[in-house]
Structure 1
Amino acid sequence: MSGSINMLSMDAGTKAIDALWQRSNVISDNVANADTPGYQQKSVSFEDQLSQAISDGSLSAGELDSVSPQVQVESGTISSSDSNGVDMETQMVELMRNQLQYSYLTRGVSDQLSMLKTAASGGEG
C-alpha cells in the first residue's frame, strides 16, 4: 500500500511541476506583453483543483488525472483603451515565487526517485 502512496505522491509532484512550468510561460507572456495595448493579463489555476481533489483525504490516480492547470484571462485588468493591466512588479514577484516552488518540487521528486533507486538496489549504491 505504501508503494502506491509514494507513486501517487510522485505523480502529484510531477503534475505540480508541469503546472508551475506552464505558469512560468504565462508569466513570461504577461511580461513580454506589458506594453502591448489591450493585452489582458493571464494566470494559471492549479492548486485549488488539486486541493479540492484531495479534500476528502484520499486521492486516486483517476482523480489526479482529472486535475490539470487552467490558463485564465484576468477579467477587468485593462486600465484604459491604449494600455493593459500588467503589473510588472507583481509579475516579477510571481515569477520568483514560481521559480522557488519549481525548485522545491523538482528536488522533492528527485529525492523520491533516489529513495526508490536505493530501495530497488537493496540499499547499496
Structure 2
Amino acid sequence: MAITFEKALGIHPQTLAVRAKRAEVIASNIANADTPGYKAKGMDFKSALAQASQKQQTGMSRTHDKHFDVRISSNNGVQFRTPDQADTGDGNTVDAQVERNLYLENSMQYQASLQFLTGRIKGLKKAITGAGQ
C-alpha cells in the first residue's frame, strides 16, 4: 500500500501557508498604522484553512505532479476588522498594540506548526532510511 505525502503530512503545509498569509495581513496593518483613512484588516484562520485544504483535495493546477498546491487566494478570509478603539479623527482603525500582539501570537503558532511538520518529515525519513535499527 502506497502512502502519499499529502496523507503523511496532513494539513500542516496548508496551515503554514495560511499562517504566512495572516502574517502578511498583520504586517500590512502595522506598516499602515499612521496612514490616514487606512482600515485594519483581519483574517479568519478557520475559513482560510478550510479553503486551502479544499483546494488541495480537489487537485488544483500544479506546476508538477509531485508538488503540493497550497496557494492562498489573494483575499482568502481577509476582511476589514471591526475597530476596538474610537476613531482618532483620521479614519485609521489600526491599533498598533493589538496588531503587535496578533503578530506575536501568529508567529508562535507558525513556529509550532513548522516544528510539528519537521517532526513528521523526520519520522518519514527515519521510516524510509531505517535509521535507528
Q: TM-score, structure 1 length as denominator? A: 0.73
CA distance in 1, matches of 2:117, 2:70: 20
Contact 1:13 1:105 in 2 (8 A): yes
Q: Residue deviations 1:51-96, cap 9 Å, x none?
A: 69x9xxxxx9339x79954221225678255231111111011011
- 1:10-49 to structure 2, matched below 5 A, reads 10-48=9-47
Unaligned 5+ runs, structure 2: 60-68
Aligned equivalent of 2:118 = 110
Distance 1:8 1:47, change over 3 A: farther
Identify, as 1 or 2, the structure richer in helix: 1
Percent identity of paired positions between Structure 1 and Structure 2: 26
Aligned equivalent of 2:106 = 98
CA distance in 2, matches of 1:85, 1:34: 8
Aligned equivalent of 1:62 = 58
Q: Alignment length, in residue pairs?
A: 119
Moved over 6 A (4+): none
- Bigger mean CA offset, 65-74 vs 85-94: 65-74
Distance 1:2 1:85, change over 3 A: farther
Q: TM-score, structure 2 length as denominator? A: 0.70
Mapped pair 1:120 → 2:116: no
